[in-house]
Amino acid sequence: MACASTKLQYWRLYLLSLVLGIGGSFQYGIQVSVIASPAVDIQSFVNHTWMFRYGAPADGYTNQLIWSFIVAVFSLGAWAGAIHSGSLPVTYGRKNVLLFSNGVVVVAAVFMLFSRMARSFEMILLGRFLYGYNVGLGVSVQVMYLAETSPKNLRGFLTLTSSIFISFGKVVGQIIAIKEIMGTEEMWPYLLAVSGIPAILQFVMLPLFPESPRYLYIDKGDTESSRKALQWLWQEDNLKLEMDDMQKERDSKQGEKAKTVKDVLTSRCVRWQLLTLIIPCAGIQFCGINALDFYAFEIFRESGVPEDQTHYLHIGIGATLLISLSLSSFLIDRAGRKKLMGYGYLLMGIIMSILTVTMSYKDINSWIPYVNIALIFCVTCSYAIGPAGVSMALPAELFLQAWRPSAFVISGTINWLCMFLVGMLFSYILEALGPFCFLIFVAYTVFSAAFLLYFVPETKGKTMVEVMEDFNKLNYKNRGADTEKTDVNLGTKI
* pLDDT tens profile 453-472: 888 888 887 877 888 888 88
Same domain, 172 and 283: no
Residues 356 and 294 in one domain: yes
Could you report the per-residue pLDDT of 400-409, keeping only the tens digit for each?
888 888 888 8
Asked whether residue 161 falls in the same domain as residue 65, the answer is yes
Q: Please give the pLDDT value at position 7.
A: 63
Q: Is residue 45 part of a domain?
A: yes
* 11-37 per-position pLDDT tens digit: 999 999 999 999 888 988 898 888 877
- Predicted local confidence at residue 459, as pLDDT: 83
Q: Which of 159, 137, 157 is nearest to 148 (CA)?
A: 159
Is 69 a member of any domain? yes
Which percentage of the chain shows pLDDT scores above 90?
35
- Specify the pLDDT at position 313: 83
pTM reported for the whole predicted model? 0.84
Q: In this structure, are 316 and 181 located in the same domain?
A: no
Q: Check whether residue 345 and residue 310 sit in a common domain.
A: yes
What is the rounded distance in angstroms from the CA atom of residue 413 to the CA atom of residue 284?
13
Both 290 and 420 in one domain: the answer is: yes
Residue 174 falls inside a structural domain: yes
Residue type present at position 80: A
Q: Is 67 exposed, middle or buried (0-12, 13-18, 19+ CB in 10 A)?
A: middle
**In this structure, is residue 363 part of a structural domain?**
yes
In this prediction, residue 438 carries a pLDDT of: 83
Average pLDDT, stretch 364-381?
85
pLDDT single digits (tens) 58-114: 888 888 888 888 888 888 899 999 999 988 998 999 999 999 999 999 999 999 999
Question: Tens digits of per-residue pLDDT, 193-242?
Answer: 999 999 999 999 999 999 999 999 988 889 999 999 999 999 887 788 88
Q: Does the pLDDT of residue 437 top 70, yes or no?
A: yes
Please name the amino acid found at residue 230: L
The answer to whether residue 411 sits within a structural domain is yes
Same domain, 205 and 59: yes
Asked if residue 336 and residue 306 are part of one domain, the reply reads yes
Summary mean pLDDT of the chain:
85
- Judgement on whether residues 37 and 148 belong to the same structural domain of the protein: yes
Mean pLDDT along residues 296-319: 76
Q: Answer whether residue 140 is part of any domain.
A: yes
CB–CB of 25/169 below 8 Å? yes
Domain that includes residue 73, residue range: 11-209
Total tally of structural domains belonging to the chain: 3
Residue 112 lies in a domain: yes
Confidence band of 302 (pLDDT split at 50, 70, 90): low
In this predicted model, what pLDDT tens digit does every residue of 377-388 receive, in sequence order?
Answer: 999 999 988 888
CATH number at residue 27: 1.20.1250.20
- 401 shares its domain with 482: yes
Whether residue 1 lies inside any domain: the answer is: no
- For residues 150 and 228, membership in a common domain is answered with no
Residue bearing the bigger pLDDT, 345 or 294: 345
390 and 281: one domain? yes
Q: Which pLDDT band, with edges at 50, 70 and 90, does 334 fall under?
A: confident
HSE-up (13 A, CA, CB side) for residue 391: 30
User: Can you give the pLDDT at residue 68?
Assistant: 80
> When comparing pLDDT for 341 and 394, which is higher?
341
Residue type, position 232, single letter: W
